Amino acid sequence: MAESIARQSNPEDPESVLTEMAKAIPMRRLADPLEVGELAAFLASDESSYLTGTQNVIDGGSTLPETVSVGI
């Protein structure tokens, strides 16, 4: 999805858009689709059988309260 946005925003240099997007994330990188898939696989597995009512945010720290207060 990010690649598509980058190509639409700057067809001549989409990599620069991806770089700027990554800079806005506290972890300074975009997520790998495998990271999202691994969480989905874990939640669907027997290993997650004791989890109830959790919220799992995969955003590289973008929604942490600390990132807002320190202006990251």
**pLDDT per residue as tens, the chain (72 positions):** 899 999 999 999 999 999 999 999 999 999 999 999 999 999 999 999 999 989 999 999 999 877 555 555
Question: Residue 57 contacts by C-beta under 8 Å, 6 or more apart in sequence?
Answer: 63
Which pTM value belongs to this model?
Answer: 0.71
Q: Which residue has the tokens 């997007």?
A: 21
Structural domain that includes position 38: 2-69
* Domain count for the chain: 1
Q: Which residues contact 56 (CB under 8 A, 6 or more apart)?
A: 39, 43
CA distances (Å), origin 23, targets 16, 52, 59, 61, 70: 11, 34, 13, 12, 15
